Structure 1
């Protein structure tokens, strides 16, 4: 009768976990890199905060569960398809520990705005007030212009609720230009908000340089 005891050669091996991706942007206060599966618990931890979700788009889950973080990871890591087919999202991480602190990314617009991408970002509340997001937004925007052609990206834009003074300061520090206000264009939690529009074009960076 054959023994049913498994030998070391027949034991299933644990699945290999890919290494943490190399940074695409490095600044004194943060690094920006592709998401890694190890980020999922920290995404859920930082995003499950009503103060973080307060001025984000209504589709941002709140409360934010571990399942929401897992779904976001799958979406953000779909692959390296062309810009016109996929959003590009990255993790903002601590430069010393490489641990997740927040998120930044772009979303391509369509129709006659096919060369415009929308910038979005958020940061865990415990890291607010440290100058991380202005630095991340400025250098990530520069990375976008450097890594996509003029036929792919001519313009970055960001929209902010009028009551969100913190994010307005972020964009101004990141060299975005205030372009106007869409009065009472936003609505969340039963309240209407003005939406302030900010933009950045390649020529702005050329003037800066």
Structure 2
């Protein structure tokens, strides 16, 4: 895809990440509660971290490695979070990753964004499988996956070392066949 897609839900616009997002990205990502659950967000999160991430997201799309969407409320033009797919073309699958600023937690916004990205991944990218991992203590993120029909595949014990502590994650998946079965009328 040469032109970056824009996706819409009832309340959200998912669009290309831009350099104009830098200030809002720093404001929302510079949160210990975010960094505790997202491996590539450090705390404190600084302007140079945001600039690096924005550049990475833009270049990764150009290379076909990732599609990273900025999340906006439809009525605001401000960046409030991100969601994306890290694509493995050889195996025709992608890893789903996402986060949203703390003021927007508990409103079902991420569940809405994940639903639209799954539709994009299976419908437009024709992926065979989309998977995601969540830290075992991140119940909100786990509910987001479950609410979108993802199936728990397993527990990866001591998978990541975070601040000198090994953390366990659950891995969830959805195959195209499972997705199509879930969305088709009975």
TM-score scaled by structure 2?
Answer: 0.89
Cα shift at 1:29: 2.5
Structure 1 Cα separation of the partners of residues 37 and 18 of structure 2: 26
In structure 1, the residue corresponding to 2:59 is in which secondary structure?
A: coil
Q: What's the counterpart of residue 66 of structure 1?
A: 47
Q: What's the counterpart of residue 69 of structure 2?
A: 90
Structure 2 Cα separation of the partners of residues 179 and 35 of structure 1: 31
Q: What's the counterpart of residue 17 of structure 2?
A: 35
Cα shift at 1:22: 8.4
Q: What's the counterpart of residue 105 of structure 2?
A: 128
TM-score scaled by structure 1?
Answer: 0.79
Q: What's the counterpart of residue 197 of structure 1?
A: 171
In structure 2, the residue corresponding to 1:199 is in which secondary structure?
A: strand
For the pair 1:155 / 2:129, whether they are aligned, the reply is yes
Cα-Cα RMSD: 2.0
Cα shift at 1:37: 2.3
Cα shift at 1:133: 0.4
Q: What's the counterpart of residue 56 of structure 1?
A: 38
Instruction: Note if contact 2:60-2:66 (Cα within 8 Å) is conserved in structure 1.
Output: no
Instruction: Note if contact 1:161-1:186 (Cα within 8 Å) is conserved in structure 2.
Output: no
Structure 2 alignment gaps of length 5 or more: none
Cα shift at 1:102: 0.1
Cα shift at 1:43: 0.5
Single out whichever of 121-130 and 193-202 deviates more from structure 2: 193-202
Structure 2 Cα separation of the partners of residues 43 and 194 of structure 1: 27
Q: What's the counterpart of residue 99 of structure 1?
A: 78
Decide which structure has greater strand share. 2
Aligned length: 181
Runs of 4 or more above 6 Å deviation: none
For the pair 1:45 / 2:54, whether they are aligned, the reply is no
